[in-house]
Every structure is written in structure tokens, then in C-alpha cells.
Amino acid sequence: MKISFSKIAAPARGVVVVTVAEAAAGKESKAAKNKPASGPVLGRSAAAIDMHTKGALRRAIKAAEFSGKREKTLQLLVPGEGQFTRVVLVGVGDPTSLDAFAAERLGAVIYDTVAREPSATVMLEGIDTAKAGAGELAAHVAGGARLKSYRFDKYRTKEDKDAKPKLKSIVIQCQKPAEAAKAHDAVTALVDGSFLTRDLVNEPANILYPESFANRAKSLTKDGITVEVLAEPALRRLGMGALLGVGQGSARPSRVLVMRWNGARDKSKAPVVLVGKGVCFDTGGISLKPPPGMWDMKWDMGGAGVVTGVMQTLARRKARVNVVGLCGLVENMPDANAQRPGDVVTSMSGQTIEVQNTDAEGRLVLADVLWYAQQRFKPRVIVDLATLTGAIIAALSEHYAGLFANNDDLANKLTAAGTAVGERLWRFPMGDEYDRELKSLIADMKNIGGPRAGSITAAQFLQRFVNKDTPWAHLDIAGVVWNEKGTPLAAPGSTGYGVRLLNRFIADHYES
């Protein structure tokens, strides 16, 4: 879908979308004189359209009791041979509270409204008192439209033509089109990274497995990212017994993917390190999962997918920061060679782990990769992402990801970034009372706690592999990486959750 920007002018033909402020917010608007008796504030373009349609727009507003509330729409068919065939009003609500995330959601609403048109013109009005500039908001409206346009249909051979979107181009008219086009470059990088994550997470496990995942990541070298893949012989030499134990039952050999972006002016500056769980398929191993819903476990590599998408985004927008992305890539299968409940493995840190449940495998993978990250890269901060526990879904459903951290400042920064982009985090407690539940009779620890607080004991397990002086946060994203119904910015399937959050987090606090 092609997106371009231009100055506000009457479109020649087709469908036109006009944004309008909410009635209650119109008192302070320059266009207040165009406010109908009851309804939204009509800007110059909407007022001109109303005149062109001989008052049909105002009559439709009154009949529908359309107020201009944010994300609400009103459509009007224009008969005859006029300049356009259909007019869509989209409410922006109170423009003083309009920010980048709200603009993205507006873009998604606009896309849904015009997706079956070949082209559309969007006239951004009623936002003169918004928090952000007109150009920046226009760029984020475009980004939201693109995010909502994503489809993963590469394996479809037949599809109802009426069900497939037809939209090929959108022209967004705004007060500062040159500023919008410039801001759109960074937004495009962010959308592209989100799409890469969605592509990876949507892929079936017979197509995306540790080796093929790593091979796809090699394409990031064209963006300036250094990519290194550690195969099993190297992992054995490093002593990654926890990670290798998870993958030993699979015919697909395990890998660790290392991606490096050195964008800071000081190339020697300690990096931000992102670590992703990449269990490309999780049967549970010998502790086999129940069959219903097991197909979902193709997205148990969601954390690795997010890390890969973030790395592409940072490189494409030339972020002034050094970042390392690490992904532990394995399959957890119930082969005759699979590890058994009760096995003891030795992690790269030298700590031993009694594997009481082979379906608590993601933490074993992360344990070795977290340790490797610290030993090799001496990070200024580590954030890991993992579809780690079903318990987090029970606690937060699909609305928040779980946040665990050893550093209050880091936790606050991540929470703020998530709120700003609509990828919300909820912090959970940690402490010795939970850590004691990991005590093993025969090893340094076991890989599960008791029957309760499973997300917290999983985080306590990971913390045992993080140095006390290293700021670290763990994001349990099991409930948010996949959504059967879709979200305001994503179609059903992979959501891409985490890319926009981490991009914002890094942009706000670590770029120089």
C-alpha cells in the first residue's frame, strides 16, 4: 500500500475521509463557527463538503447523533457525478489529548473503513490543538493504517475476492506534508520491524525452526546489523547445558542467534542487550502438553521474534545506540533422546538445575543466554522477552504483559514506554519468599516452583542467572503476542507486541 502526503485540497474523486473534533472540544477550535447545533466541529473541508452536498452532511450528522468522539465514524454516500462518491467522518475526540498512539489507532480505523476502496484521500483537520505537530500526527496515522493492513496469507491458494482488501494507495492531506514525510521514515522502520516480527511468529513450525530462523535473520546484514549464529558444537564448548538439554529431543539442532547494531557515536559504549526466548515449537517434551491447542505453540518463539523485529527497526532508523539482540532457538520435542523429568543439567553459569518439568523449558534456554550476554557483552541493561508462563495469561489475560525487574528505575522506564505506545506492562513482586520455592533436594535449584505464583517463580529462576549489579527486566509476553480476535492495530494472529514498546524505551533513554 502506497502512502503519500500533500497539502489540504479538495480531492478530485473517490472516497474522502475527514477528521473532525468532538463537539464538547469544539469551543476552543478555530472552526467553532462551523459547529452544528448538535454534533462535531466541522473544519473547512467538511464544511465545504456539506455545502457541495447541499447540507446532506449536517443532516446525516444530526440523524446519526454523531458527536466526533474519537474513533467513531459516519459514512455518507454522495449520489450523482460529484467530486467524490463517499464521505467518511472520523472523530478525533478532544484534540488536546491526541498523541502518536491515538493517531495510530485513528489510522487503523480509517484503514478498516476504506480497505475495500482502490484508493482514498484523508484530510486531517480538527487537530490544531493536538499535543504533537500536524506532520508527526499525519505520519502516525499512516503508520496505524499500515499496521492494520498487515495480512499473513502466503499459504492461501483460494480466497473470497470480496474478503480481500483492495486498497492500494492513501493520500494523507495535512498542514505540513513535508514534515509528515520526514517523520514517516522512522515510522516506516517501526512498522517494517513489526511486520518482520509478525511474519516470524505466524510461520508454522515446519517452516520456521532454529536453523531456518537464524538463516532468515542473516538478511538483516543488509541493514548494517552484524549477525552471528552459534551452532551446537560452539554451544557445547560454552557449556550451555541448560539450553542444549531442551533441544536434545529434536531432530532440529539448536542455535543461538547474535545480532549487533553499533549505532552510537562511541562504538565501545556498553550495549543495551535484548534477549528473546525462541522455542520454535513446544510440545512440552516428555511432560507432554494436552493436544487441544498445542498448535498454538508455534508462537512460543515470540520473544525471539520481537527481538529480531526491534533490531531491524533500530538499524533502519539509524538509531544512535549500541544494541545486541540474542535469541536462544530450540525445539522441545518428546523424542527417545529427550531429557526426562528428574534430569540434572549444568548451565553455562556452572549452576546445576533439576528439571522437574520439561515443559518449563523456556527458562532453561534463557538462563544460558542471559549468562552468555553478561559474560561476552558487559551490558548496561538487559531486557528479556518470553512467552514463558500460562500463569501470566491467567493473571492478566490478553491486556497486559507481566513485568519483573531487579531495578525500579528500569521498571518505570519500561512501563512508561509501554503506556505511550499502547503495549501495557504490569509489574509483579519478586522476593526471597518466592525464590525459596526453587530449592532442589539434589541440585542448586529446580526449574519449577510450587503450584501457585508460577510467573513469579519463573522470574526468580531467571534472576539467579543475572548479576546483581546488572539492571535487568523480564517481560512475560505469553498473553499478548497472539490474539485470535485481533487488536486495534493488528489482524487476528501475531500482534507484533513488544517492537514498538522496546523501540520507544530505547529512543527515550539510551540513544546519544
pLDDT of 348 strictly over 60: yes
pLDDT at 24: 63
List all residues 6 or more positions away from 89 whose beta carbon is below 8 Å from its beta carbon: 17, 18, 19, 20, 40, 46, 57, 61, 66, 68, 73, 74, 75, 76
Nearest 5°: the CA angle 108, 116, 159 is 105
pLDDT at 26: 44
Choice among 122-136, 138-152, 486-500 with the minimum mean pLDDT = 122-136
- Residue 224, sorted as left (phi over 0), alpha (psi -120 to 50) or beta, turns out to be left
Backbone torsions φ then ψ of 135, nearest 5 degrees? -65, -45
Backbone torsions φ then ψ of 400, nearest 5 degrees? -135, 155
3-state secondary structure of 208: coil
Q: What is the mean pLDDT of residues 413-425?
A: 98
pLDDT of 195 strictly over 80: yes
pLDDT-based confidence at residue 162 (cuts at 50, 70, 90): confident
Task: Give the active site residue among 252, 277, 363, 413.
Answer: 363
The reply to whether domains 2-176 and 191-509 share a CATH topology is no
pLDDT at 132: 81
Q: What is the mean pLDDT of residues 416-422?
A: 98
pLDDT of 366 strictly over 60: yes
The DSSP letter of residue 490 is: B
Q: For the purposes of burial, counting CB atoms within 10 Å of the CB of 433, is it exposed (0-12), middle (13-18) or buried (19 or more)?
A: exposed
Q: Is-catalytic flag, 289?
A: yes
pLDDT at 332: 98
Average pLDDT, the chain: 94
The CATH number assigned to the domain with range 2-176 reads: 3.40.220.10
pLDDT-based confidence at residue 80 (cuts at 50, 70, 90): low
pLDDT at 186: 96
Q: How confident is the model over 228-239, as pLDDT tens digits? A: 999 999 999 999
Domain limits, the chain = 2-176, 191-509
pLDDT at 28: 43
pLDDT-based confidence at residue 289 (cuts at 50, 70, 90): very high
DSSP secondary structure of 62-130: HHHT----TT-EEEEE--SS-S-SEEEEEE---GGG--HHHHHHHHHHHHHHHTTSSEEEEE--S-TT-
Nearest 5°: the CA angle 341, 343, 349 is 125
pLDDT at 161: 75
| CB-based burial, 32-44: b 16+ in 10 Å, e otherwise | eebbbeebbbbbe
Helices 408-421 & 499-509 angle (0-180, nearest 10): 120
pLDDT-based confidence at residue 79 (cuts at 50, 70, 90): low
8 A C-beta contact, residue 127 and residue 95:
yes
Q: For the purposes of burial, counting CB atoms within 10 Å of the CB of 165, is it exposed (0-12), middle (13-18) or buried (19 or more)?
A: middle
Task: Give the active site residue among 176, 182, 260, 289.
Answer: 289
**For cell 486498497, what's the residue?**
167
pLDDT of 205 strictly over 50: yes
Q: Bigger pLDDT: 82 or 398?
A: 398
DSSP H/E element including 408: helix 408-421
Choice among 56-65, 346-355, 420-429 with the minimum mean pLDDT = 56-65
DSSP bridge partners of 229: 257
How far apart are the C-alpha atoms of 380 and 172, rounded to whole Å? 41
Choice among 75-84, 224-233, 296-305, 429-438 with the minimum mean pLDDT = 75-84
Q: Is-catalytic flag, 363?
A: yes
List all residues 6 or more positions away from 501 whose beta carbon is below 8 Å from its beta carbon: 414, 417, 418, 421, 423, 425
Choice among 37-46, 135-144, 393-402 with the minimum mean pLDDT = 37-46
Strand order in the sheet with 119-123: 2-6, 169-173, 119-123, 15-20, 86-91, 73-77
**For cell 526453587, what's the residue?**
438
Assigned fold of 191-509: Aminopeptidase (3.40.630)
pLDDT at 164: 85
First to last CA, the chain: 33
pLDDT-based confidence at residue 31 (cuts at 50, 70, 90): very low
Percent above pLDDT 90 for the chain: 86
Around Cβ 362, how many Cβ atoms within 10 Å? 29
pLDDT of 512 strictly over 90: no
pLDDT at 126: 85
pLDDT of 27 strictly over 80: no
pLDDT of 29 strictly over 60: no
Q: How confident is the model over 42-78, as pLDDT tens digits? A: 888 889 888 888 898 999 999 999 999 999 999 998 7
8 A C-beta contact, residue 371 and residue 462:
no
8 A C-beta contact, residue 166 and residue 115:
yes
8 A C-beta contact, residue 386 and residue 477:
yes
Percent above pLDDT 70 for the chain: 96
> For the chain, how many residues are written?
512
List all residues 6 or more positions away from 54 whose beta carbon is below 8 Å from its beta carbon: none
pLDDT of 103 strictly over 50: yes
